[in-house]
Structure 1
Amino acid sequence: MGRAVAGGAAALLLVTGCSSGTDPGTGTRTEAPTGTTAPAPSSPSSPTSAPPAATGSVRVVRTLTEGLRSPWGLVELPGGALLVSSRDERTVTRIDARTGRQASLGEVPGVVPGGEGGLLGLAHRDGWLYAYLTAADDNRIVRMRYGGGPGDRLGAPEPVLTGIPKGVIHNGGRIAFGPDGMLYAGTGETGRTGLAQDRSSLGGKILRMTPEGRPAPGNPFPDSVVLSYGHRNVQGLAWDDRGRLWAGEFGQNTWDELNLIAPGGNYGWPVVEGRAGRAGFTDPVAQWPTDQASPSGIAYAKGAIWLAGLRGERLWRVPVPGPGAGAGERSGTPKAFLQGAYGRLRTVVATAGGSGLWLVTSETDTRGTPEPGDDRVLRLEVG
């Protein structure tokens, strides 16, 4: 079935209770909640004039840009422009947040794409662009001087942290600066499951370090950048408005996970997958069958974690537990949006101020089914 990919006033799409129709302009099928009619598509770069989204909902208001190839990481610069990485093409592209115009910043040297590896997550701070990438012998984090202006170029990459295990699969790749000013990274166990429980390995972990790559003050293990372990493949990191760290994680055959991270916590892999209630392991806050999620990027906005699903091809909203909740607590009831409307969803990032979301599709990553215009960056309004 074709995907409704027009920007503008796209209807809210729910997992259940949907009816179908055909977009007369494109011939692709559209879905809308039962009892509603999907509005006509508008220009990809035009904002919608539809009423605000209802509380606990999300709505696509525009397609900012399209025609991207294997997009992976996304970061919003202080001035509002976006940077997006291409996993397979090894490039960084600057996107004007008003017009959607793309400007290539060139290739990042040293990237060796292959399988699930390549140029992955991005982060920006104090005039540096940080990138998580797959090199010839490892996964690593580098940083490049970048001012952020329309004519600025990337400087030469400088290593921040090297020696993260690499593989054809499970390379992790998300990086983000936390509210404490430290740099965090989610890694994978590269298919070698034993690495996840080995605290001397950087694989299958969440890492916390200074901006220069040294172990951050207060880390749970002496002289180590490891914050938590027992992870299979972490590809989403986000903080709520209380400063708590959340992580999305790929399961194997049974359960994908959303975890609330505690320093020194053991999240079970490969001993357990999903909720097990076993002493010594921290259960996920929420879990899904693997065909409903395959969680990639996550973001926090309006009291909930938003989780982009690759295989599940939907955007999940998960209300987070209250102030007294700790690791292993249950979430509110997850709710899904945009099911199948835009295909595989790779990255979701909260807009400056947290009033909305940027959402990146992932149909050109060799596992999707590209249609004209793929891949794209969407602007979402959160209710």
Structure 2
Amino acid sequence: MRLRALILGIALSATPLSALPLSAASATPAAEPAAEPEFDFTSPSVVATGLAIPWGLAFLPDGSALVSERNSSRIVRLRAGSPPTEVARLTGVRPAGEGGLLGLAVSPTYAQDGYVYAYYTAASDNRIVRFRLAPTPQQQVVRSGIPKASIHNGGRIHFGPDGMLYAGTGDAAQTGNAQNPASLGGKILRMRPDGTAPPDNPNPSSLVYTLGHRNVQGFGWGGGHMYATEFGQNTWDEVNHIRAGANYGWPRVEGRGGEPTYRDPIVIWRTSESSPSGGTVAGDTFYAAALRGTRLWQVPLDGQGGTSGSPTAVLPGTYGRLREVAVGPDGWLWIVTSNRDGRGNPTPQDDRVVRFPPKQRR
């Protein structure tokens, strides 16, 4: 136990959580949770079909969506009622196994700078770049040196409510990366838009926001709290309440360990039921897109970083493997399938992007 405490202490650089600024401790000022939105899962609207292993999803200010394709290295723009249009193809991407062109994020100041961010697997690492949309855009490396492998590359990126860029990384099949504070693998990273470490990170000289993760591919914010999905190994998948500087236990703990050194998940599933990738918060619900589980999980939140009831599943088997879920600027819930990734059973329409409207309130 003394060794575990020492490792955690190194990761936090002896900075107590109680001394952290609010932005680092909770990622956004506390707020009352919004009323839970209800989506009509019986009224789907298919936005796109025939995509090749779509992975990342982000929205431009005009309401259109950007989707990355893992193996083709291309980014397409989607508008409801129109066919997909290729708007960029990135160079330097080296797809292999689970790696390739992964997450996307749009700059919160896009109207001024025009930047789109992408996380991808390169020849020697995983990296985050930014660029302006063009057929072959000029890329600026924001952060390199994230460990890569044929599995466990992480890859999801989002801008948080605090304007910082967050990235979920995997342990790159080297479990020791997750507990090593000097490694960017097996972490949630937090950085300025230019890739530098914010001074209110747990360690002001490090991008590491949390550690002890196996493979993070989804996260979102709601009610003043951050939540993230976690792929388990053989037994337990997780949803975690994310707190700055916290250690989530991998590889020493899978699921709930009950040890004070590590934070336990707020939800666990058998890996056959979930394998959660993308995640988002809408109102007082966290949605997790399940790959192996081929369903969309709804996790009711209590507004305090925990749950207010048991998770429920919708769309079981309806669209196959689900890679991403997000609430669009239109207020609809969007999902992205991943049936052509070598592990699914694709239909002639796959892969697809589908959205669901909010329910009409009486």
Instruction: Report the TM-score, using the length of structure 1 for normalisation.
Output: 0.80
Paired AA for residue 92 in structure 2: G
The 5-angstrom pairing of residues 1-383 of structure 1 reads 55=38, 58-96=41-79, 98-125=80-107, 126=110, 127-146=114-133, 153=135, 155-240=137-222, 242-322=223-303, 325-326=304-305, 329-352=306-329, 355-383=331-359
Query: Residues 55 and 168 (structure 1 numbering): CA distance in 2 closer, same or farther, change over 3 Å?
Result: closer
Query: Residues 199 and 60 (structure 1 numbering): CA distance in 2 closer, same or farther, change over 3 Å?
Result: farther
Separation (CA, whole Å) in 1 of partners of 2:131 and 2:88: 12
Aligned with 1:348: secondary structure?
A: strand
Separation (CA, whole Å) in 2 of partners of 1:143 and 1:199: 25
Paired AA for residue 254 in structure 1: T
Please say if residues 346 and 360 of structure 1, whose CA atoms lie closer than 8 Å, have aligned partners that are also in contact. Answer: yes
The offset of 1:330, in angstroms, is 4.3
Separation (CA, whole Å) in 2 of partners of 1:258 and 1:330: 10
The offset of 1:56, in angstroms, is 7.5
Aligned with 1:235: secondary structure?
A: coil
Aligned with 1:172: secondary structure?
A: coil
Query: Residues 367 and 233 (structure 1 numbering): CA distance in 2 closer, same or farther, change over 3 Å?
Result: same
Aligned with 2:144: secondary structure?
A: strand
Q: Which residue pairs with 1:50 in the alignment?
A: none
Please say if residues 296 and 310 of structure 1, whose CA atoms lie closer than 8 Å, have aligned partners that are also in contact. Answer: yes
Q: Which residue pairs with 1:38 in the alignment?
A: none
Separation (CA, whole Å) in 1 of partners of 2:235 and 2:285: 24
Q: Which portions of structure 1, spanning 4 or more consecutive aligned residues, are displaced by more than 2 angstroms?
A: 53-61, 152-155, 329-332
The two structures, once aligned, show a CA RMSD in angstroms of 1.7
Count of residues in Structure 1 that have an aligned counterpart in Structure 2: 319
Aligned with 1:109: secondary structure?
A: coil
The offset of 1:64, in angstroms, is 1.1
Aligned with 1:234: secondary structure?
A: coil
The offset of 1:243, in angstroms, is 3.0
Query: Residues 285 and 60 (structure 1 numbering): CA distance in 2 closer, same or farther, change over 3 Å?
Result: farther
The offset of 1:106, in angstroms, is 3.6
1:91-129 Cα shifts (integer Å, max 9, x gaps): 111112x31321112420100000000000000012101
Query: Residues 290 and 101 (structure 1 numbering): CA distance in 2 closer, same or farther, change over 3 Å?
Result: same
1:56-76 Cα shifts (integer Å, max 9, x gaps): 864442111100001000111
Give me the identity figure in percent.
Answer: 51
Aligned with 1:195: secondary structure?
A: helix
Aligned with 1:168: secondary structure?
A: coil
Separation (CA, whole Å) in 1 of partners of 2:221 and 2:69: 25
Separation (CA, whole Å) in 1 of partners of 2:37 and 2:58: 27
Aligned with 2:177: secondary structure?
A: helix
**What are the ranges of 5 or more consecutive residues in structure 1 without an aligned counterpart?**
1-52, 147-151
Aligned with 1:196: secondary structure?
A: helix
The offset of 1:217, in angstroms, is 2.8
1:37-79 Cα shifts (integer Å, max 9, x gaps): xxxxxxxxxxxxxxxx995864442111100001000111110
Separation (CA, whole Å) in 1 of partners of 2:163 and 2:286: 21
Paired AA for residue 52 in structure 2: R
Q: Which residue pairs with 2:17 in the alignment?
A: none
Query: Residues 331 and 235 (structure 1 numbering): CA distance in 2 closer, same or farther, change over 3 Å?
Result: farther
Paired AA for residue 80 in structure 1: G
1:236-270 Cα shifts (integer Å, max 9, x gaps): 01111x23111101000111000010000000100
Query: Residues 360 and 60 (structure 1 numbering): CA distance in 2 closer, same or farther, change over 3 Å?
Result: farther
Paired AA for residue 345 in structure 1: L
Paired AA for residue 132 in structure 1: Y
Query: Residues 223 and 366 (structure 1 numbering): CA distance in 2 closer, same or farther, change over 3 Å?
Result: same
The offset of 1:331, in angstroms, is 4.8
Separation (CA, whole Å) in 2 of partners of 1:182 and 1:247: 16
1:2-59 Cα shifts (integer Å, max 9, x gaps): xxxxxxxxxxxxxxxxxxxxxxxxxxxxxxxxxxxxxxxxxxxxxxxxxxx9958644
Q: Report 1 or 2 for greater relative contact order, CA contacts < 8 Å, sequence distance ≥ 6.
A: 2
1:179-215 Cα shifts (integer Å, max 9, x gaps): 0000000000011001000011000000000000000
